[in-house]
A and B are shown apart, each in its own frame.
Chain A
Amino acid sequence: MVNVIDYIPGRTLLHRLNPVTKLALAASIIIATFLANTFALLIALLALTFCLGIYVHAAGRLASLLKLLVPLAIIMFVLQTVFVHEGPVLWGFITVGGMTAAAKMALRLLGIALPLVLMLMVTKITDLANACVEVLHVPYKYAFTFTTALRFVPVFSQEMNAITEAQTARGVEYDTSNPIKKLQLMLPLCIPLLISSVGKTDATALAAEQRGFYLRTRASSYKRYPFHAIDVAAFVLCVVLIVGGILL
């Protein structure tokens, strides 16, 4: 199973940016998306995200993520149209203002989710954590918590898979078509999952401590994360994006 946020190896400009710069870039796209008030800019920002995605060969991954996000965006769209009433009535309770607001909301949802995921795809998690510790002075404790949480996602999903398989093989009807019944059947699985995750977390804490976790300082990282000219250029782009978001 391929995780959406798994690292895609590469040597593109985006890969070579300082992890902190990448974070800033993703954040500026998100902020601009929040601030943007015209369809043109919202679509332009989404297009920018996709162009970057194609550039780092992550288009396929982004498309599969869209499959998950688009239904969510559609639900948002429908709810907004139902609840927001502004301007002339189109049909029944649907208003022009409601439609516009809803469409922008749906685009924003996509525009916020995608840049962050794209940024994680082109950055090794450990690099991100180390750079945040070195450049942003984030305490290593928090950086480690973050990387470990991300690392445990596939581990736990494998564990969950194994548990579901074991229960299915015993004859629990997970293959039922009734979703409520399925949910009822899934709940007891939390117990074995919880027990194994507590055990794993404790073991990880011990293993980290035995490898000198508490000795680690800001200067410990072997890899250094200096800023280069392209980082400066990227920061200029960030400012442009945010200003654009405010103005347009």
Chain B
Amino acid sequence: MQDIIDIDHVSFAYAEAPERSLNDITLGIAPGEFLGIIGPSGAGKSTLCSALSGAIPHHYAGEFFGAVRVDGQDTCDVSLTDIARTVGSVLQDIDAQMVASVVEDEMLFGLENFGVPHDEIPGRVSWALETVGIADLVDREIATLSGGQKQKVAIAAILALQPRVLVLDEPTAALDPESSRAVFETLRRINQSEGITVVVVEQKVALLSEYCERVAVMHEGRVELVGTPAQVFSHTEELRRIGVDSPRTVRVSNSLAAAGLCPATPCLTVNEAARLIEGLVTARGADREVSESAGSTSAATTPSTASAASAAAAPAESGRCAPATSPRNAAGQDPIVTFDDVTFSYPGGGASVNNLTFSLYPGETLALIGQNGAGKTTATKLLNGLLKPSSGHVTVAGLDTRTARTSQIARHVATLFQDPDHQICKDTVLDEIAFGLELAGVSPAEARGRARVAAERFGLPLDEPPFSLSRGQRQMVALASVIVVEPEVIVLDEPTSGLDYRECMTVMETVSQMAQQGTAVLMVCHDMEVVSDFADRAMVMANGRIQGSGATLDVFTDPDLMRAACIAPPQVIELTERLARTVSPALHGVSEVADVARMVKELVQHG
């Protein structure tokens, strides 16, 4: 069948940009396909989306080479509006995409413009809303919707136009895990029942590998790899070089394959990985029994004693693997932050919090997890003094936030916001990083000296205007200005959203170094893999209340708590919990890929 979109040796450089954003890309997209695009930031993913939807060459100026053919027609020859009849696109910035203030009007806009007969319109609107699963929202004001609901409205508004291709640019960037999955479920439904081709840019590898038929990996304006998720994610090494994460289950199966235990087909889901390991352990167990009974020697290892032995080894193993709880407060240090029965509600409604009580110790990393709207961000704002509690007390470094001014608290607490653009206000990177120090009363000369060191640590250009840098680099500028003030507490609000894997690791490793030097860290994070890797303790929030807290691993292995928070535990923990039930209890509480691989190897080889 003829490709619905045919990208033929396409290169593109934005006007005034020194380098090409797309570099000789050739890719065909078949009708009915579900294609995922991934790559580090600055790889050209959004630019490729623009080229598919005709925004390039019609909206963005620049040098365009090659040809994009949509349904056989060269996008250079037809108008943007005509391309839009075939390709519907959902932009990254949902607020900018909306044209109306009520959902129904938003739905009508495109239908009216494209001259859909008025007697067909009600049917199309209700069909689109039902397909996306938001028929109940039709009369709502868009401003009152949650991020996930807005995303669905945006999809429904495009879907109502019945495009043959749907192009989405990072639709889940600001969503919690459950809403992200719901968006992908919607896309799958549209793809399968309506036969609409879906092209989606996404950073969450676990979703890509589960939902996409084909994945394209972009790097420096090129398509480096393209194929089924299984094909693409078997190139773990190459992906790591590019700066793209692999699903944790793939890492497990690749480690096992590297040890020669199984063929090199990556496991894309927890289910696949669990079946693989269960198969390996039982098969090898059976093999060994056969060979042992044939040799009829060492009676020491019957299956029952073997499992008893491994069970005996379990406490030691999991004790070693599990991150020590609050490791650095053992010496009886005083907490740096205390919340004492804190309640706050916004006057106009919104994510309120009730009766929060917890402490944060120096050197400890505490993760706040829960759905969008659970009150996590409200809690962080109560900590850094942006909000004052309506009852209860928040004490930070000995200051009561209700009496201390926010600028005083800022000497002790540094916040890394989700969007670096909200905090950048100076003309050069150096001034920007030094700004926080100068506010804290450090002399300009010393501030610049320290800022220079911090900027060089992240390889940032000192004299460039921050807004000329890429999104990822701007986040590094923001990070540098946080660490340069050497705060006692760091607050991270979604530190990794919108960042690629490598940038995300830079942020988290920097923060964890700060924690080792005694800084207390409070982070709000939707990426459970990051939480599992970096947090000592996790606190689950739902509906403004703390549902439970404890060592990160204990929280993730508590199914009731996970359900209360509407959160799926990280893949590795889900996998080891299942294996602990089916294969060996020794695997309970193992959260690292390397440990899983090592233990499975031991199980297979020694029983």
Contact = CB atoms under 8 A, between A and B. Distances in A.
Interface in B332-355: 348
B84 A210 contact: yes
A207 B50 CA distance: 11
A172 B102 CA distance: 37
Interface string A211-227: 11111100011110000
B55 A210 contact: yes
A165 B377 CA distance: 12
Interface residues of B, number: 63
A173 B439 CA distance: 9
A113 interface: no
B523 to A, nearest CB: 15
Nearest to B441: A171
Interface in A189-230: 189, 191-192, 195-196, 199-201, 203-216, 220-223
B493 to A, nearest CB: 10
B440 A206 contact: no
Interface stretch (B6-14, B112-120, B297-305, B535-543): B112-120
B407 A172 contact: yes
A244 interface: no
A6 B105 CA distance: 15
B331 interface: no
B121 to A, nearest CB: 5
Interface centre among A147, A159, A165, A174 (most CB of B within 10 A): A165
A118 interface: no
Size category of the A interface is 35 or more
B161 A211 contact: yes
A175 B348 contact: no
A1 B467 CA distance: 30
Interface string B417-443: 101011111100000000110011000
Contacts of A172: 407, 439
A171 B96 contact: no
Interface of B: 53-55, 59, 80-81, 84, 88-89, 91, 93, 95-102, 105, 108-115, 118, 121, 141, 143, 157-158, 161, 348, 381, 384-386, 405-407, 410-411, 413-415, 417, 419, 421-426, 435-436, 439-440, 467, 481, 491
Top 5 nearest A-B pairs (CB, nearest first) are: A212-B113, A171-B410, A203-B96, A211-B110, A166-B423
Interface of A: 1-2, 6-7, 124-126, 144, 147-148, 151, 154-155, 159, 162-163, 165-175, 188-189, 191-192, 195-196, 199-201, 203-216, 220-223
Given A148-B99, A170-B481, A222-B111, 18 more contacts: A126-B102, A169-B385, A170-B414, A170-B436, A170-B439, A173-B405, A192-B423, A199-B93, A203-B93, A204-B97, A207-B97, A209-B80, A210-B55, A211-B99, A211-B161, A212-B114, A214-B81, A223-B108
24 contacts: A124-B101, A163-B422, A165-B386, A168-B386, A169-B406, A169-B415, A169-B423, A170-B410, A171-B410, A171-B411, A171-B436, A172-B407, A173-B407, A192-B424, A201-B96, A204-B97, A206-B91, A209-B84, A211-B99, A211-B109, A211-B114, A212-B114, A220-B112, A222-B112
